[in-house]
């Protein structure tokens, strides 16, 4: 905890004085973020850092591999779908960004098999993304397969987003747009999905 508390004290002494008015306005008026980001829990891929966003700007959902499950309103514990519902229907976000990344442990567990310690929840969770395994590129090396799957997982999440009726309706009404990205941890380069291709952001 010491390191975290040290970070907090730095926040209080250095960041808070500069951002105080902003936090107070957000507390008074409530949040109205323009963007919902769905990202992986990976400690190296922080959406606020990658997009340079401040408090109140992004509603963020993070889970293993940054997956969106298909719309399935049943008795299950749908944490990600609950966050989607709140962001889209209550907060009225204008865009949803699915942020995938390189070296994703969740995608690796799906492609190569989950480690024994991650079979209670990670393995069944990653089954959401298994359709991407049906479209592996021919004659690809192991690294290529992972990279391909990391990209396809983002595309699949975008497809699943459109299965939520109120997301589909908001898109049709021109109130909401969907975007896919992939962050390369080693190079720090963000690429955007344009059709089926990833294009590095200039």
| Closer CB to Zn ion, 104 or 110, in the complex | 104
Could you say which of 42, 149, 160, 182 is catalytic?
42
What does DSSP assign to residue 115?
-
Q: Which residues from 105-124 bind Zn ion, rule CB under 5 A?
A: 106
Q: What does the alpha-carbon distance between residue 202 and residue 200 come to, in Å, rounded to a whole number? A: 6
Bridge-based pairing of strands 58-63 and 177-184 is unpaired
Identify whether the C-beta of residue 75 lies closer than 8 Å to the C-beta of residue 52. Answer: no
| Closer CB to Zn ion, 104 or 114, in the complex | 104
Nearest-approach distance from CB 40 to Zn ion, in angstroms: 3
For Zn ion (CB under 5 A), the number of binding residues is: 4
| Closer CB to Zn ion, 42 or 170, in the complex | 42
Q: Which residues from 39-68 bind Zn ion, rule CB under 5 A?
A: 40, 42
Could you say which of 22, 44, 72, 119 is catalytic?
44
Q: What does the alpha-carbon distance between residue 130 and residue 149 come to, in Å, rounded to a whole number? A: 9
Nearest-approach distance from CB 171 to Zn ion, in angstroms: 26
Q: Which residues from 25-44 bind Zn ion, rule CB under 5 A?
A: 40, 42
Nearest-approach distance from CB 122 to Zn ion, in angstroms: 11
What does DSSP assign to residue 71?
P
Instruction: Please say if 9 is a catalytic residue.
Output: no
Does residue 152 belong to the site contacting Zn ion (CB under 5 A)?
no
One residue of 68, 104, 178, 191 binding Zn ion per CB under 5 A: 104
Beta bridge partners of 39: 62, 99
Half-sphere exposure of 66 (CA within 13 A, CB side): 34
Element (H, E) at 3: helix 2-10
Residue 168's CB is within 10 A of a number of other CB atoms, namely 14
Summarize as ranges the residues that interact with Zn ion (CB under 5 A).
Answer: 40, 42, 104, 106
Active site residues: 40, 42, 44, 101, 104
């Amino acid at each position: 905890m010491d390191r975290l508390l040290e970070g907090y004290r730095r926040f209080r002494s250095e960041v808070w004085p500069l951002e105080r008015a902003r936090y107070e306005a957000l507390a008074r008026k409530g949040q109205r973020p323009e963007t919902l980001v769905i990202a992986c829990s990976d400690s190296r891929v922080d959406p606020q850092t990658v997009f340079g966003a401040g408090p109140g700007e992004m509603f963020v959902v993070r889970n293993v591999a940054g997956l969106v499950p298909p719309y399935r309103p049943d008795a299950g514990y749908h944490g990600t779908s609950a966050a989607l519902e709140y962001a889209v229907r209550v907060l009225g976000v204008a865009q949803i960004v699915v942020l995938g990344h390189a070296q994703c442990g969740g995608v690796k567990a799906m492609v190569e098999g989950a480690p024994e310690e991650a079979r209670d929840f990670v393995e069944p969770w990653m089954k959401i993304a298994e359709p991407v395994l049906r479209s592996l590129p021919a004659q690809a090396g192991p690294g290529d397969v992972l990279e391909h799957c990391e990209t396809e997982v983002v595309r699949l999440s975008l497809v699943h987003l459109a299965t939520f009726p109120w997301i589909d309706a908001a898109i049709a009404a021109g109130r909401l747009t969907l975007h896919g990205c992939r962050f390369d941890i080693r190079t720090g380069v963000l690429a955007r999905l344009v059709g089926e291709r990833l294009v590095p952001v200039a």
